[in-house]
C-alpha cells in the first residue's frame, strides 16, 4: 500500500508543476520556486507577511512565475510550524493550491545532510522544504 502512495506522490509532479518551498514564520514567511527537477526559478527567497495582504502579494508572485514558465499546477510545501501556518494553509486551499506539510524533523535532517550544518536560514529552509 505504501508503494502506491509513494507512486501517486511522484506522479503528481510533472514538467508542468511549479514546486514551492515555504519557510513559515510567526510574522514573515519566505518562499522559493522550483521546477520538477529542482531547478530554481526565484533568484532569492520571496518574503511576505503572515497577513491577508501578504498572501495576496505571494499569490501574485506565484502566478507571475507560473505564467512565465508555462506551469499549470502549483504544489506548495511547508513545515507546520506551531499555529502560524493555519492562515496560509487556508489561503492556499482557497486558491486551488493544496499545501503539502513537511515533517520538521525531516527538514532538519535534510539540512544537515545538505551542507553538514543544521542552522536555520531563510535562504536554505524553503529549498529543503521543496526538495
Distance of alpha carbon 124 from its chain centroid, rounded?
Answer: 12
Residue-level pLDDT at 80:
85
Q: What is the pLDDT of residue 81?
A: 80
- Grid cell locating 124: 536554505
pLDDT score recorded for residue 118: 56
Cβ neighbours, 10 Å, residue 78: 26
> Which of 57, 35, 112 is closest to 46 using CA atoms?
57
* Per-domain residue ranges of the chain: 46-131
Question: Sign of the C-alpha dihedral, residues 121, 122, 123, 128?
Answer: positive
pLDDT in tens, 55-106: 999 999 999 999 999 999 999 999 888 899 999 999 999 999 999 988 775 5
The grid coordinates of residue 14 equal 510533472
Per DSSP, the chain holds a count of helices (H) and strands (E) of 5, 5
Q: Model-level pTM?
A: 0.79
Task: Give residue-wise pLDDT tens across range 10-57.
Answer: 677 789 999 999 999 999 999 999 999 989 998 899 999 999 999 999
Predicted pLDDT of residue 117: 59
Write the DSSP symbol of residue 56.
H
Amino acid at each position: 500500500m505504501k508503494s502506491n502512495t509513494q507512486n501517486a506522490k511522484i506522479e503528481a509532479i510533472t514538467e508542468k508543476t511549479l514546486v514551492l518551498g515555504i519557510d513559515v514564520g510567526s510574522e514573515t514567511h519566505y518562499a522559493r520556486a522550483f521546477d520538477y527537477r529542482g531547478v530554481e526559478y526565484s533568484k532569492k527567497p520571496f518574503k511576505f507577511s503572515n497577513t491577508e495582504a501578504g498572501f495576496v502579494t505571494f499569490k501574485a508572485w506565484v502566478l507571475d512565475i507560473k505564467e512565465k514558465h508555462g506551469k499549470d499546477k502549483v504544489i506548495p510545501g511547508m513545515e507546520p510550524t506551531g499555529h502560524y501556518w493555519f492562515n496560509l494553509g487556508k489561503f492556499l486551499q482557497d486558491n486551488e493550491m493544496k499545501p503539502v506539510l513537511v515533517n520538521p524533523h525531516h527538514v532538519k535532517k535534510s539540512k544537515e545532510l545538505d551542507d553538514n550544518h543544521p542552522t536555520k536560514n531563510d535562504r536554505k529552509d524553503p529549498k529543503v522544504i521543496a526538495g
